[in-house]
Amino acid sequence: MSKAGSKLIKSANQALAYACGEVDEGFIVHVPEEVDVKSIRNSLGLTQPEFSLRFGFNVRAVQDWEQKRRQPERATRILLTVIAREPEAVSRALRISAEKQENE
């Protein structure tokens, strides 16, 4: 795994621990109350099914978020924020994770 990939996974694990309340010191994270999922998806040029498949979301959830019927949970809003800023890094991290599972 690349150095950048290792750092991303470490950072994501730290953010998840913080979001779950396991850690409350070391850094401050801003979790947006609302995330414009449709804008993020459109900026990547993906359809709802493509976006769902690429990042592991249920397509119905994406539809509900975009239609404002539901709001993503806190950890999901964190992931969506990272996707908005670094979509390729998230794709690489998720692809590596899936490949590891397949090899086990």
Output the domain CATH number for residue 21. 1.10.260.40
d(CA 58, CA 79): 14
What is the chain's pLDDT, residue by residue, as a tens digit (104 residues)? 678 778 888 888 877 776 776 765 666 778 899 999 999 999 999 999 999 999 999 999 999 999 999 999 999 999 999 999 999 999 999 887 656 666 66
Tell me, what's the pLDDT at 8?
80
Domain range for 8: 3-103
The domain tally of the chain equals: 1
